Amino acid sequence: MTLFGLLFLLAVAGLCGSLGSSLAGYSHMGCLSSVVLGFVGAWLGTWFASQVHLPPLFVLHLRGESFPVVWSVLGAAMLSAVTSMLTARNPHGF
Q: Is the torsion defined by CA of 61, 1, 49, 29 positive or negative?
A: negative
User: Taking a C-beta distance cutoff of 8 angstroms, is the pair 21, 80 a contact?
Assistant: yes
In 1-94, which ranges are continuous DSSP H helix?
3-24, 31-51, 69-86
Q: Indicate if the pLDDT at residue 55 is higher than 80.
A: yes
Q: Which residue has the higher pLDDT, 6 or 90?
A: 6
Residue 63 confidence (pLDDT) above 90: no
Provide mean pLDDT across the span 64-77. 86
Q: What is the pTM of this model?
A: 0.80
Among candidates 47, 51, 43, 20, which has minimal Cα distance to 33? Answer: 20
Q: Which residues contact 92 (CB under 8 A, 6 or more apart)?
A: none
Q: How confident is the model at residue 91 (pLDDT cuts 50, 70, 90)?
A: low
**pLDDT bracket for residue 46 (50, 70, 90):** confident
Rounded mean pLDDT of 4-27? 84
